[in-house]
Amino acid sequence: MKLVELYARVRDAVRIEGLSRREAARRFGIDPRTVAKMLSFSVPPGYRRSRLAARPKLDPFVGVIDQILEEDKGRPAKQRHTSKRVFERLRDEHGYGGSLTIVKDYVLARRQRQREMFVPLRHDAGHAQADFGEALAVIGGVERTIHFFAMDMPHSDAGFVQAYPAETTEAFCAGHVAAFAFFGGVPASILYDNTKLAVARILGDGTRQRTRVFSELQSHYLFADRFGRPGKGNDKGKVEGLVGWARRNYLVPLPHAASFAALNEQLLADCRRRFADRLRGHDETIGERLARDLARFHELPLSPYDACEKRPGRVSSLSLVRYRGTDYSVPTAYGHREVLICGTVDTVVISCGADIIARHVRSYEREDFVFDPLHYLALLERKIGALDQAAPLAGWNLPEAFTVLRRLLEARMGKQGKREFVQVLRLLEVFGVEDVAAGVRGAIERGVIGFDAVKHLVLCRIERRPARLDMTVYPYLPRASVAITSPRTYLDLLTGAAP
């Protein structure tokens, strides 16, 4: 290829000096056809193929390769043919005798031609995109997978991120409620993928059937919903970008937090700090552009949406109600009855009729049991033989005074002492642990070991009046009498003499 300088000299000689093409070819020592090309192009045009290269070994198998790659479109991305696997099938199944390199070049070129193209989009103010992402974090000293809800404002690039233990319906709703409170309004519309948390079914004409909970959320806040094409994450590329950006920036290095609430406070602070950033191609900060988004938002309703999932349930013979694979206890008086379960991100509330009968901290462990020992005390009072093996009481951390009281009651009263100890525990159904523990300690100090004495002392503490125990009212309580011991009595004991 001739240098650009030579092109300029030849073109100058012919067009400015007036030399003929033959004379110019003789002066510069080049072929006249080269002079003609230099006059047609101001710079070297490079090599241009006039027809496709012949592929005598590959061309008979091009149809087979095209069929393999076409069938791959309906397969999972991780189970599609590699170029090497295409070559091996051509060789083993169709007698191909060419090299691997030419097959790889053809497969690469064909896949490049088939790659999807996109239209640049503009993003009007007031609209949002939402999605979930996954990451690792250390919560309460334990490394675990967290699922974070992200909402992005494509016009301003303002983002909101909150972490939850699992990607559930409750977390989906709670994320929306928190995002709307964070921005101080409701976007005109929100774009989603076809998550099962929002879409129950996609009909043949592309119409989406919303889930009941998502319909309730949408009715409460009155935002329009939009959905991308199934399997096309690029339809909501802004929030996809926010998910990756938050994972790389907010969650690196691995965050440590005492609880999810503490981690979410950190994430909110990170989201607010980002408002001061000025992104490439923009003269305004994210916060300045967010003002235009907020001007298009709807006002928040007077009360936030109750982000919980409601399900009917039934109490088992073990006084347990199952919710998302975990069993939660209820008072045994409600055995075998129909109940309503309300599950939020943090709690599980169980109701029977108009009454709330149980409230538990939610567990995300697989096939877990969550007990409240108080729920079983009434039954244990009747079935006292199950006291030592009662699973709901295992791990119940009570003050040491309760253990001492039980030992004294059983030593003096046997099986009836166990029943009386359960009666003391049932005081916890009404009074606080500190008050009952103080009553137990007072009874032990006074030597009046029994339920009635403990209850009397607890009531005196609650009512703030002095405790006066009249032992004539409790004839069955053991009394302690102190007498002066004589040496003669001691000697009689040693000799075994009768008193």
Which residues, in sequence order, are CB contacts of 96 under 8 Å at separation 6+?
Answer: 57, 58, 61, 87, 90, 103
Tokens read off for 442? 């007072």
Average the pLDDT over 82-107 and give the result.
Answer: 92
Predicted local distance difference test score (pLDDT) of residue 228: 84
- List C-alpha distances in Å: 103 to 13, 79, 452: 49, 19, 91
Classified as helix, coil or strand, 339 is strand
Identify the pLDDT of residue 498.
52
pLDDT bin (cut points 50, 70, 90) of residue 419 is: very high
Q: Quick one: which H or E segment has residue 322?
A: strand 320-323
H/E element, 271: helix 260-274
DSSP 323: E
**The pLDDT of residue 4:** 80
- Token reading at 452: 């009635």
* Average predicted confidence (pLDDT) for the chain: 89
Amino acid at the residue 257: A
Q: Is the pLDDT of residue 499 over 80?
A: no
Whose tokens are 């951390």? That residue is 397
Instruction: State how beta strands 320-323 and 309-314 pair.
Output: unpaired
Q: What integer pLDDT is reported at residue 480 of this predicted model?
A: 53
Reported as a pLDDT band with limits 50, 70 and 90, residue 1 is very low
pLDDT at 353 over 80: yes
Query: For residue 262, what are its two tokens?
Result: 């503490």
Contact 221, 301 (CB under 8 A): yes
Q: What does the pLDDT average to over 346-354?
A: 94
* pLDDT over 90 (residue 334): yes
**How much is the pTM?**
0.71
Contacting residues for 494 by C-beta, under 8 A, at least 6 apart: none
pLDDT over threshold 70, residue 333: yes
Cα 53 from Cα 130, distance rounded (Å)? 49
Mean pLDDT of 175-201: 94
- And the tokens for 42? 């101001």
pLDDT at residue 285 in the model: 95
Say how far apart CA 455 and CA 149 lie, in whole Å.
50
Q: Which letter does DSSP use for residue 186 in this model? A: B
Q: At what angle do helices 32-40 and 4-15 cross, to 10 degrees?
A: 90
Q: Is the pLDDT of residue 497 over 60?
A: no
Residue 459 amino acid letter: L
Phi-psi region of 140 (alpha: psi -120 to 50; beta: other; left: phi over 0): left
Rounded CA gap, 298 and 183, in Å?
Answer: 11
Exposed (0-12), middle (13-18) or buried (19+): which is 384, by Cβ within 10 Å? middle
Q: How many Å apart are CA 146 and CA 243, to the nearest integer?
A: 13
Q: DSSP per residue over 429-453, as a string?
A: GTS-HHHHHHHHHHHHHHT--SHHH
Residue 117 in this model has a pLDDT that exceeds 80: no
Task: Identify the helix (H) or strand (E) that includes residue 377.
Answer: helix 377-382
At residue 379, what are phi and psi to the nearest 5 degrees? Answer: -70, -40
251 contacts 135 by C-beta, under 8 angstroms: yes
| Total Cβ atoms within 10 A of residue 343 | 23
The dihedrals phi and psi of 276, each to the nearest 5 degrees, come to -85, -5
* pLDDT reading at 493 higher than 80: no
pLDDT digit string, tens, across residues 366-413:
889 999 999 999 999 999 999 999 999 998 999 999 999 999 998 888
CA distances to 295, 380, 426 from 445, rounded to whole Å, are 70, 27, 21
Mean pLDDT of 13-32: 89
**pLDDT score of 471:** 59
- For every residue of 136-172, DSSP letters joined together read EEEETTEEEEEEEEEEEETTTTEEEEEEESS--HHHH
Q: Which two tokens stand for residue 104?
A: 């790889």
Q: How far apart are CA 460 and CA 448, in angstroms?
A: 15
Asked if residue 371 lies in contact with residue 326, where contact means CB atoms within 8 angstroms, the answer is no
Residue 320's DSSP bridge partners are 329
β-strand partners of 137: 144
Render 199-241 in DSSP notation, one character per residue.
Answer: EEEE-TTSPEEEPHHHHHHHHHHT-EEEE--TT-GGGGHHHHH
Report d(CA 188, CA 205) in Å as an integer. 25
